Structure 1
């Protein structure tokens, strides 16, 4: 079959972060899948999540993931980090990132993305979510690990994340504060750290209005609806759309 068709470019929503992003298409951590559902036939959702990674790791990795071509097609970029960085330095030095290094690393990644062509106003920083210490301590114990997270410390990283967004003029989602407004916020976390389906729905409810606005200029659908295709000229209907 001869291919004379022009390749259709698909705008991208680029999700970058740790396990909370890696699991964003899982049954419970499904906020990425919710975005994909809303943007079906309009955008590709590119998921680049790396379980256990922190800002220093991700800062080194980003240039291998985001080139100028990908950046030119990116209509929204989320950076969702801090849950691992906030680990106690003594108990978990492998994942710990000092607060000021975390802050600077976010700035460096934003500036790199912009140097590749991602527009400032399309970058969205997401704070680490609140974590529930008793459940996370039990999960760590069950898996032969030491719990090294403290929710109040996580809150300082969330605050720093918001300050970076304010300073550099990016969008922001403060899921930490939203969760902390509820006495029973642990319902949003399946193990004290990662989202339940309710947690994913909460993040989606905060993120979607921003992404919806950033994608509002895009066509309602890429390629015509099935009932708009002229069966006498299928090729013309589809390739000249």
Structure 2
């Protein structure tokens, strides 16, 4: 491991997580915002459901790890909500099993550390018409529906209320935009840059409002090696240097 050791933020989930570095995705935005403050660690797996997540949970999040994450953002549900196939194959997980799986994931993550913070993302909506246009050649007949996403989203949120962990209702958040069907997706399922901005804003809202002993909001965390240096760029007065350690080129997006 390289040093200094920074707080670790782990993004854990299916393709919404794995692809979060694509097209100005929400994972890449977080990495930019937390540069010199925290390490954003990607643990995303396209196609996964909550069953597969449980199978490797101890491997990805070992309880005996020397350093435990400061923040874990979890997303599973979209693939679980896919309609069951007559063959029994595919990612569908019955609703009650999904609920129990998410509860087990939460219990494990809470056991890692007293200071580990957790945020669950619920299933976002989908654009069924766009999926038919973009993915039918790869995935065959549409086996997803926005309604099933809503049902699994609400189930996730209910588990989080019971387990007293933070949750973000993505199914509702994306649909706050009147043009969400047109701008939030790359293919009807996965998030575009506009969809990702909504995710980041919702995450920042949780981090800003959370009454945690140590704030994990990007503006509250210390900057690594932030001291003034004679090697900083020379300012316009031609006599002094400018400390650029806190420069962030994403501030214009007004995440707060």
Q: TM-score range by the shorter chain?
A: 0.7 to 0.9
1:61-210 alignment to 2 at 5 Å?
A: 61-68=56-63, 70=65, 72-90=67-85, 93-117=89-113, 119=115, 122-143=117-138, 145-186=140-181, 187-210=183-206
Structure 2 runs not aligned, ≥5 long: 232-256
Aligned Cα root-mean-square deviation (Å): 2.4
Structure 1 runs not aligned, ≥5 long: 1-5, 230-241
* Pairing 1:14–2:10 present: yes
Distance 1:71 1:100 in 2: 34
Distance 1:118 1:175 in 2: 27
1:3-82 alignment to 2 at 5 Å?
A: 7-28=3-24, 30-68=25-63, 70=65, 72-82=67-77
Offset at 1:115?
2.0
The structure richer in helix per residue is: 1
Higher relative contact order (CA 8 A, sep 6+): 1
Offset at 1:13?
0.5
TM-score by length of 1: 0.84
Q: Tell me the alpha carbon deviations over residues 3-52 of structure 1, each in whole angstroms, 9 at most, x when there is no partner.
A: xxx95221101100000100111124x10111111111110001100000
Given that residues 204 and 217 in structure 2 are in contact (C-alpha distance below 8 angstroms), is that contact kept between their aligned partners in structure 1? no
User: Which residue matches 1:237?
Assistant: none
User: Which residue matches 2:216?
Assistant: 215
3-state DSSP of counterpart to 1:116: coil
1:219-230 alignment to 2 at 5 Å?
A: 219-225=221-227, 227=229
Distance 1:152 1:24 in 2: 24
Runs of 4 or more, structure 1, over 6 Å off, are none
Q: Tell me the alpha carbon deviations over residues 80-122 of structure 1, each in whole angstroms, 9 at most, x when there is no partner.
A: 11111110002674110111111111110111112222646x1
Given that residues 135 and 187 in structure 2 are in contact (C-alpha distance below 8 angstroms), is that contact kept between their aligned partners in structure 1? no
TM-score by length of 2: 0.79
* Count of residue pairs the alignment pairs up: 223
Given that residues 188 and 198 in structure 1 are in contact (C-alpha distance below 8 angstroms), is that contact kept between their aligned partners in structure 2? yes
